[in-house]
Structure 1
Amino acid sequence: MHVRVHRVWSRQIPFRVDIAGIIEIMGSSLYSRLDTPIRELIQNSYDAILRRRARDLQFRGRIDIHQDAAAGTLTFTDDGVGLTAEEAEQYLGTLGIGMTGILKGRRSTAVKSTIVGDGEGLVGQFGIGLFSAFMLADFLKVESRSEDSDEGVCWEAGPGTEIRLSSSDRTQFGTSVTLHLKPQFRMWCESLESLEGAIREFADFLPVPIHVNDRPARVNVINAPWFEATPEPESLELALADYFNEAPLDVIPIRMEHPLTIAGALYISPQRTPGFADESTVAVTVRRMVISRRVRDLLPAWGSFFRGILELEDGTPVASREDLVRDDNFRALRRTLEEHLYQHLEDLADQPGSRLESIVTWHRYHFAGAALSEVRLRFLLRRVYRFQTSKGPLLLDEILQQSAADPLYENDLESVVWYNADRRQERYLDELFSRITVPCVHAVRSFEESLLAEMLVDEDGGVELRQATPSARNFNRIVLGMTDPEDLAAGWQDYFSSTDARVMIASLASGPPVVAFLNDRYELARTFEELRREGDIPTGFQRLIDAHFRQAPTGRNEVVLNRTHRLVQNALRSGVSSPLASVLRVLVMNALTAAGAVRSAGAAAVQAEDLDWIADALRGPGA
Structure 2
Amino acid sequence: MEETTLEAAGATEIRRAGVDLNGLMTVLGKHLYSTPVVALRELVQNAHDSLVRRRLEQPDWVEPGRIEVHGDAGNGIVRIIDTGAGLTQREIHDYLATVGVGYTRGLRQTGEDDEGLIGMFGLGFLSAFVLARRVTLRTTSYQTPTLGHCYVSSNAEQYTVSPMPARAIGTEVLLELHADFQHLAQEAHLRDILGRYCALLREPIYIGHDAQPINPEPPPWRPRDGVVLHPLQAQRRAVEFAARFERNFEPICAVPVRAAPGSDGVGLLWVQDGATYGTSDNRNLSVFVRGMLLDDDARDLLPPWAGFIGGVIESNRLTPTASREDLQRDEAYRSVQHALGEALIEGLAEVARQQPEAWRRVLARHNEALLGAALCDERLFQLLMEHVRLPTSQGDMKASELPSRGALHVILDSGGGFEEMLFRAMGVPVAHGHRYAVVPFLRRWAQAKGMRLVELGTEQGNRALFKAGSLPEADIAWLQQHLGDGEQLLPAHFSPIELPVVVVPDREAELKRRLEDDDNDKRVSMAALRLARQFTARIAAREVSRLYINLDNPAVQALLAAMRSGNPQAEAAARLLRSLKIIVSAQGRAQDAGTGSGDLNRAFADIAVALQQMLQAPR
Length-normalised TM-score, structure 1: 0.81
| 1:481-518 deviations in Å (ceiling 9; x for gaps) | 775488862342243343x5433323457621424264
The range that moved more, 387-396 or 550-559, is 387-396
Deviation readout 1:556-604 (Å, 9 max, x if unpaired): 4444323343322333344597210111101211221232333235533
Counterpart code for 2:412:
A
**In structure 2, what is the equivalent of residue 453 of structure 1?**
443
- Mark the CA change 1:375 to 1:392 in structure 2 (over 3 Å): closer, same or farther: same
- Change beyond 3 A, Cα 1:14–1:564: closer
Higher mean C-alpha displacement, 527-536 vs 309-318: 527-536
Alpha-carbon offset, residue 323 of structure 1: 1.9
Letter in 1 for 2:81: T
> Are the aligned partners of 2:321 and 2:327 in contact in 1 as well (CA < 8 Å)?
yes
Q: Which residue of 1 aligns with 2:41?
A: 39
Partner residue of 1:19 out of 18, 21, 29: 21
What is the CA distance between 1:322 and its match in structure 2?
0.9
Give, in whole Å, the separation in 2 of the partners of 1:486 and 1:344. Answer: 65
How many Å separate the matches in 1 of 2:11 and 2:83?
Answer: 57
- Corresponding residue for 2:304? 301
| Deviation at residue 134 of structure 1 after TM alignment | 1.4
Closer/same/farther in 2, CA of residues 508 and 261 from structure 1, 3 Å limit: closer
Structure 1 CA distance, aligned partners of 2:532 and 2:583?
29
Q: Which moved more, 1:292-301 or 1:567-576?
A: 567-576
For 1:432, the equivalent position in structure 2 comes to 426
1:334 — aligned with what? 337
Which one of 591, 614, 617 corresponds to residue 613 of structure 2?
A: 617
Check the 8 A contact 1:513/1:568 in 2, yes or no: no
Secondary structure in 2 aligned to 1:445?
coil
Q: Is residue 323 of structure 1 aligned with residue 326 of structure 2?
A: yes
Q: Name the CA distance, whole Å, in 1 between partners of 2:138 and 2:491.
A: 98
Is 1:240 the counterpart of 2:242 in the alignment? yes
Q: Which residue of the partner structure matches residue 578 of structure 1?
A: 571
Q: Given that residues 516 and 533 in structure 2 are in contact (C-alpha distance below 8 angstroms), is that contact kept between their aligned partners in structure 1?
A: no
* Mapped partners of 2:297, 2:381: distance in 1: 28
Task: Answer whether contact 1:144 1:176 (CA < 8 A) is retained.
Answer: yes
Superposition CA RMSD, Å: 3.9
What do residues 87-144 of structure 1 show as CA deviations (whole Å, max 9, x unaligned)? 1111101112111111111xxx5xx8xxxx6444121121110011111123222111
Closer/same/farther in 2, CA of residues 387 and 19 from structure 1, 3 Å limit = closer
1:379 CA displacement: 4.0
2-structure distance, mates of 1:267, 1:73: 39
CA distance in 2, matches of 1:91, 1:365: 55
Is residue 279–residue 301 contact of structure 1 (8 Å, CA) maintained in 2?
no
Q: Which residue of 1 aligns with 2:66?
A: 62
Alignment match, 2:141:
146
Given candidates 574, 582, 587, the residue that maps to 1:594 is 587
Distance 1:351 1:480, change over 3 A: farther
Higher mean alpha-carbon deviation, 516-525 vs 308-317, is at 516-525
Does the C-alpha gap of structure 1 residues 383 and 312 become closer, same or farther in structure 2, counting only changes over 3 Å?
Answer: farther
Quote the offset at 1:360 in angstroms. Answer: 4.0
Hey, what does 2:3 align to over in structure 1? none
Cross-structure match for 1:412 = none
Please, which moves more after superposition, 129-138 or 231-240? Answer: 231-240
Structure 1 position 550 matched with structure 2 position 554: no
Q: Residue type of the partner of 2:47?
A: S
- After superposition, what is the alpha-carbon deviation per residue over 1:381-417, rounded to whole angstroms, capped at 9, x for unaligned? 33433445689976657768x776xxxxxxxxxxx65
Partner of 1:413: none
Task: Give distance in 2, aligned partners of 1:72 and 1:615.
Answer: 93
**What is aligned with 1:367?**
370
The residue that corresponds to 2:129 in the other structure is 134
The CA deviation at 1:76 is: 1.2
The CA distance in 2 between the partners of 1:351 and 1:207, in whole Å, is 32
User: Percent identity among equivalent residues?
Assistant: 25
Task: State the partner residue of 1:289.
Answer: 292
Three-state SS of the structure 1 residue aligned to 2:273 is: coil
Partner of 2:226: none
Distance 2:401 2:603 in 1: 44
Q: What SS does structure 1 have at the residue aligned with 2:64?
A: coil
Deviations 1:165-184 (A, max 9, x none): 22121321110112222222
Give the Cα separation in 1 of the matches to 2:385 and 2:78.
Answer: 59
- DSSP-derived class of the 1:301 partner: coil
Q: Would the aligned equivalents of 1:383 and 1:395 in 2 still touch at CA under 8 Å?
A: yes
1:356 and 1:384 in contact (8 A); partners too: no
- CA gap of 1:185–1:454, structure 2 versus 1, over 3 A, is same
Query: 1:464-543 residue pairs with structure 2 within 5 A?
Result: 465-468=453-456, 471-472=459-460, 475=463, 484=470, 489-498=476-485, 501-507=487-493, 511-516=497-502, 518-519=504-505, 521=507, 525=511, 528=514, 537=523, 540=526
Do the aligned partners of residues 209 and 352 (structure 1) sit closer, same or farther apart at CA in structure 2, a change above 3 Å counting? closer
Distance 1:457 1:558 in 2: 30
Report deviation, 1:354: 8.8
Greater CA deviation, 518-527 or 296-305?
518-527
Amino acid at match of 1:288: G
Tell me what 1:311 maps to.
Answer: 314
Alignment of 1:420 onto 2:423: no
> 5+ residue gaps in structure 1?
1-5, 405-415
Report if aligned partners of 1:570, 1:580 keep a CA contact under 8 Å in 2: no
- Aligned amino acid, residue 203 of structure 1: C
Change (3 A) 1:548 1:81: same
Alignment CA distance shift 1:471-1:484 (3 Å) = farther
Relative to structure 1, the CA distance from residue 27 to residue 417 in structure 2 (aligned partners, 3 Å threshold; closer, same or farther) is same
Residues 512, 539 of structure 2: 8 Å contact kept: no
For 1:178, the equivalent position in structure 2 comes to 174
1:187-212: CA deviation from partner (whole Å, max 9, x where unpaired): 223x3332322122212333333333
Higher alpha-carbon deviation: 552-561 or 117-126: 552-561
Q: What secondary structure is seen at the aligned counterpart in 2 of 1:302? A: coil
Give the distance between the partners of 2:243 and 2:54, measured in 1 at CA: 36
Tell me how far apart the structure 2 counterparts of residues 486 and 597 of structure 1 sit (CA, whole Å): 31
C-alpha distance in 1 between matches for 2:459 and 2:471: 11
SS of equivalent residue, structure 2 residue 296: strand
TM-score (normalizing by structure 2):
0.82
For 1:11 and 1:486, locate their aligned partners in 2 and report how far apart those are by CA, in whole Å: 100
**Greater Cα offset, 289-298 or 243-252:** 243-252
Residues 426 and 442 of structure 1 are in contact (CA less than 8 Å); yes or no, is this contact kept in structure 2?
A: no
**Alignment match, 1:187:** 183
Q: Match of 1:565, as an amino acid?
A: N
Residue 51 in 1 paired to residue 43 in 2? no
- The answer to whether the 8 A contact 1:208-1:222 is kept is no
CA distance in 2, matches of 1:509, 1:31: 69
Q: CA deviation at 1:17?
A: 2.0
Moved more, 94-103 or 191-200: 191-200
Counterparts of 1:533 and 1:96, CA distance in 2: 60
